[in-house]
Amino acid sequence: MDQFLFYLFGFLALAGGLLLVGFRNPVSSALSMVVSFIGLAGLFIGLNAYFVGIVQILVYAGAIMVLFIFIIMLLDLNNEKPFQFRSATILGGLAIPILFAIQILGVIQKGPTEHSEKFPPITEETLQQAADGFALKSDGELLPASEQTAIYRSLAHQDSPKLPDTNLIGETIFKHYNMPLQIMGVLLLVATVGVVVLSKRSSKNANTQN
């Protein structure tokens, strides 16, 4: 079943990409890109990366693609004419990715043999084991029940323990990558300011389309 799902979502991602490159209508391209992202999200979830998968849908497909479609609609674009493509461009555009794909194949084959093994699944014992790790104090004693973290509880004490990867990601970010997180905040601020500045109209050409 897992294998089938992998193939399905993989095919979805690749097909979406191909359609994105092939469609002349930019709105069609944008929508096929959404399909591609859905496939990608499926692949993420298959990799037990639940948080990243959902964020992918929310932010990428939800915010970014909507923004794209906004702008396409704003600019009121026409279709690209079919014979506008120059043969040189198409030739280069086909040759280079094919070469690149061949090189990727080569790189993958050169990789170590462990990479062709399947992922070890996450079972209950794994979770139990991990839970013990979270319930220990620094000196090796067990924590009392009132101080047990949510991670521990979700790892250990449910009927069907599941992987609390949001919590784990949160823990990784806030414990180890706090500084980059703050910088991300500043980056978003800068981007917002930049967008506002770039969109400002100079007072001379006030009567263009809105």
Partner 1 sequence: MHTIAWLILGLPLLSATCIHLGFKRNQGLSTIIATSSALITLILSLVLLGNGKDTSTAFTWVGAMGEHFKGIEIGLRIDQLSRGMLIVVTGVGFLVHLFSLTYMKDDRAKARYFCGLSLFMFSMTGIVLASNFIMMFIFWELVGLSSYLLIGHWYQKPSAADASKKAFLTNRIGDFGFMIGILMLWGITGTVTFSELELWSATPAPFNATFLGIALLCVFAGAVGKSAQAPLHVWLPDAMEGPTPVSALIHAATMVAAGVYMLARFFTSVDLEIIAFAPQTIAWIGGVTSLLAALMATQQDDIKKILAYSTLSQLGYMVMAVGLLNAQAGVFHLFTHAWFKALLFLGSGAVIYACHHEQNIWKMGGLRKKMPLTFLTFTIGTLALMGFPLTAGFFSKEQILEAALHQSTPLFVIATIVATLTTFYMGRLLLVAFLGENRSENSHHAKEVGALMLIPLVTLSVLAIISGYPFVASALSPLYEQVGFHFGPAFWASLTALVVGGGFAFTFYRNAETDPLKDKKIALVFRNKFYVDELYAQIVRFGQDCVAAIVHFIDELLIGGLIVGGCSRAAEGIGKLFGRLQSGNLHGYATLFGLGVILLIYITVFVP
Partner 2 sequence: MASLNDYLLVSGLLFAIGLAGVIIRSNIIVIFMCLELMLAAASLTLVAFSRFNVSSNGLPDYDGQVFVFFIITVAAAEVAVGLAIIVALYRARQTINVEDLTSMRG
Among partner 1, partner 2, none, what binds residue 199 when CB lies within 5 to 8 Å by partner kind? Answer: partner 2
The CB density around residue 185, as the number of other CB atoms within 10 Å, is: 10
| The binder of partner 1 chosen from 106, 112, 120, 144 (CB under 8 A) | 106
Q: Which of 100, 124, 132, 133 binds partner 1 (CB under 8 A)?
A: 100
Site for partner 2 in 9-48 (CB under 8 A): 10, 13-14, 17-18, 20-21, 26, 29-30, 33, 36-37, 40, 43-44, 46-48
The option from partner 2, partner 1, none interacting with 210 (CB < 5 to 8 A, set by class) reads none
Q: Cα separation of 16 and 19, whole Å? A: 5
Q: Is 136 in the site for partner 2 (CB under 8 A)?
A: no
Residue 46, class by beta-carbon neighbours within 10 Å (0-12 exposed, 13-18 middle, 19+ buried)? middle
Rounded distance between C-alpha atoms, residue 89 and residue 20, angstroms: 17
Tell whether residue 144 is a contact of partner 1 (CB under 8 A): no
| Residue 96 interacts with partner 1 (CB under 8 A): yes or no | yes
Three-state DSSP string of 27-86: HHHHHHHHHHHHHHHHHHHHCCCHHHHHHHHHHHHHHHHHHHHHHHHHHCCCCCCHHHCC
Which of 2, 5, 22, 103 lies at the binding interface for partner 1 (CB under 8 A)?
103
Under the binding rule (CB under 8 A), the answer on residue 97 touching partner 1 is yes
Burial of 107 from C-beta contacts in 10 A (0-12 / 13-18 / 19+): exposed
Residue 2 lies near partner 2 (rule: CB under 8 A):
yes
Residue 165 interacting partner from partner 2, partner 1, none (CB closer than 5 to 8 Å by kind)? partner 2
Distance from C-alpha of 108 to C-alpha of 69, rounded to nearest angstrom? 36
Among 1, 4, 110, 140, binds partner 1 (CB under 8 A): 110
Applying CB under 8 A, the site for partner 2 has a residue count of 92
Torsion-angle region of 140 (φ positive above 0: left; ψ -120 to 50: alpha; else: beta): left
Residue 190, C-beta contacts closer than 8 angstroms, at least 6 positions apart: none
Distance of closest approach, residue 36 Cβ to partner 1, in angstroms: 20
- In angstroms, what is the minimal distance from the CB of 8 to partner 1? 30
